[in-house]
């Protein structure tokens, strides 16, 4: 495919909160692309989203959306366990695809996607998969990565990461918190430090009393990396407060913090916030990052390819989070051994 001159026509599969937000973004803000088709496990949800966007049709199901003649590229924002089959179908059809995280929820299917894409690259020379790790497009995280890349603060020693959700979807379990939320911190660490995670330990402190039944909340993870840096992560599932994501780098000659402001920061569930406002959710906190992410994806898709976080990044993150699920269950430190990049 050479550079497309008309708008990229996009099918969005899965139009819950994230997918519907991508439809709005493609309709209103992304240059050179527009949504044309939506599909969702709930026909009602698909109808509602389509009705809000003139020119957007509803496909009977996800595979029908991929087969539609009017579709040039695909955004997958359905639940994690549906991703592998859809990604393989996109690769088979040569469709550029932006797949929300987690790329897949198990290592075997993640590797299948990596290998299927490698076969496409071998014949066409073009990647097709971008994984939705939007933090790589967040100004704060990009600045932090530059500090590491330029060695301005010296070698990284530690990352302290906090990832606090006001609430999580009703289907959430302790495992999905690791697979769906912790996965951002895993990719964040790989992106910021530029190296792989080699082991993970997951502990849970005393449980938040207001946490939904059966959910470990918070979860505390320790990631080890190839260079010997350590990454500690708090993932809170249901603070009832707002959405707080921050990362602090401790390096040999300095520290750097993203995701907050200076000043006395007191965040409480009852009085909301003293000293600053906490964003309500991830759609608000990372709005600019999502815009940049989808624009970069659309620009590459118009050239028939993909940019940004790759299927290998998706695989590496899933390898760590699935090890994290084992670490959570057993209480043991679990090593992560990755297959080499194809």
Q: Which residues bind ligand ISE (CB under 6 A)?
A: 101, 165, 168, 180-181, 184, 282
Distance between CA atoms of residues 27 and 306, nearest Å: 20
| Nearest residue to 294 via CA among 60, 159, 86, 136 | 136
| Nearest residue to 13 via CA among 121, 81, 99, 95 | 99
The smaller minimum CB distance to ligand ISE, of residues 67 and 287, is found at 287
Tell me the closest approach of the beta carbon of residue 180 to ligand ISE, in angstroms.
4
Judge whether 71 and 65 are in contact, CB under 8 Å: yes
The smaller minimum CB distance to ligand ISE, of residues 282 and 315, is found at 282
Query: In sequence order, what are the residues at sequence separation of 6 or more whose Cβ sits closer than 8 angstroms to the Cβ of residue 58?
Result: 37, 38, 39, 43, 46, 47, 50
Tell me the closest approach of the beta carbon of residue 245 to ligand ISE, in angstroms.
7
Tell me the closest approach of the beta carbon of residue 55 to ligand ISE, in angstroms.
28
Tell me the closest approach of the beta carbon of residue 165 to ligand ISE, in angstroms.
5
The smaller minimum CB distance to ligand ISE, of residues 3 and 213, is found at 213
Distance between CA atoms of residues 111 and 242, nearest Å: 35
Tell me the closest approach of the beta carbon of residue 282 to ligand ISE, in angstroms.
4
Query: In sequence order, what are the residues at sequence separation of 6 or more whose Cβ sits closer than 8 angstroms to the Cβ of residue 244?
Result: 162, 163, 164, 259, 260, 267, 278, 279
The smaller minimum CB distance to ligand ISE, of residues 283 and 338, is found at 283
The smaller minimum CB distance to ligand ISE, of residues 102 and 304, is found at 102
Tell me the closest approach of the beta carbon of residue 259 to ligand ISE, in angstroms.
12
Distance between CA atoms of residues 306 and 271, nearest Å: 45
The smaller minimum CB distance to ligand ISE, of residues 188 and 304, is found at 188
Distance between CA atoms of residues 66 and 276, nearest Å: 44
Distance between CA atoms of residues 293 and 98, nearest Å: 9
Distance between CA atoms of residues 263 and 220, nearest Å: 26
Residue 334 CA to chain centroid, in angstroms? 23
Tell me the closest approach of the beta carbon of residue 335 to ligand ISE, in angstroms.
25
**Which residue's Cβ lies closest to ligand ISE?**
181
The smaller minimum CB distance to ligand ISE, of residues 132 and 304, is found at 132
The smaller minimum CB distance to ligand ISE, of residues 39 and 233, is found at 233
Judge whether 315 and 107 are in contact, CB under 8 Å: yes
Tell me the closest approach of the beta carbon of residue 247 to ligand ISE, in angstroms.
13
């Amino acid at each position: 495919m050479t550079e497309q001159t008309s708008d990229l026509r996009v099918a969005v599969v899965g139009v819950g909160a994230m997918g519907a937000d991508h439809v709005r973004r493609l309709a209103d803000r992304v240059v050179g692309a527009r949504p044309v088709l939506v599909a969702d496990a709930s026909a009602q949800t698909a109808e509602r989203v389509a009705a809000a966007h003139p020119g957007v049709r509803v496909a009977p199901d996800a595979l029908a959306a991929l087969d539609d003649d009017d579709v040039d590229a695909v955004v997958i924002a359905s639940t994690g366990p549906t991703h592998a089959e859809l990604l393989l179908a996109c690769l088979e059809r040569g469709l550029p695809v932006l797949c929300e995280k987690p790329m897949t929820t198990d290592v075997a299917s993640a590797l299948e996607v990596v290998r299927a894409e490698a076969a496409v690259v071998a014949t066409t020379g073009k990647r097709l998969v971008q994984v939705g790790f939007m933090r790589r497009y967040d100004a704060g995280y990009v600045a932090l990565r530059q500090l590491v890349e330029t060695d301005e603060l010296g070698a990284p020693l530690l990352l302290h990461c906090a990832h606090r959700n006001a609430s999580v979807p009703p289907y959430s379990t302790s495992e999905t918190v690791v697979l769906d939320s912790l996965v951002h911190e895993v990719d964040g660490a790989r992106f910021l430090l530029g190296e792989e995670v080699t082991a993970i330990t997951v502990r849970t402190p005393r449980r938040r009393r207001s946490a939904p039944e059966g959910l470990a909340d918070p979860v505390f993870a320790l990631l080890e990396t190839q260079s010997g840096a350590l990454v500690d992560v708090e993932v809170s599932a249901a603070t009832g407060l707002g959405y707080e994501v921050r990362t602090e780098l401790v390096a040999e000659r300095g520290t750097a913090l993203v995701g907050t402001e200076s000043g006395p920061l007191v965040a409480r569930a009852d009085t909301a916030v003293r000293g600053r406002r906490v964003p309500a959710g991830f759609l608000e906190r990372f709005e600019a990052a999502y815009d940049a992410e989808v624009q970069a994806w659309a620009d590459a898709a118009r050239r028939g390819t993909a940019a940004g976080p790759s299927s290998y990044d998706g695989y590496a993150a899933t390898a760590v989070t699935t090890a994290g699920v084992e670490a959570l269950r057993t209480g043991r430190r679990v090593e992560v051994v990755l297959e080499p990049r194809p």
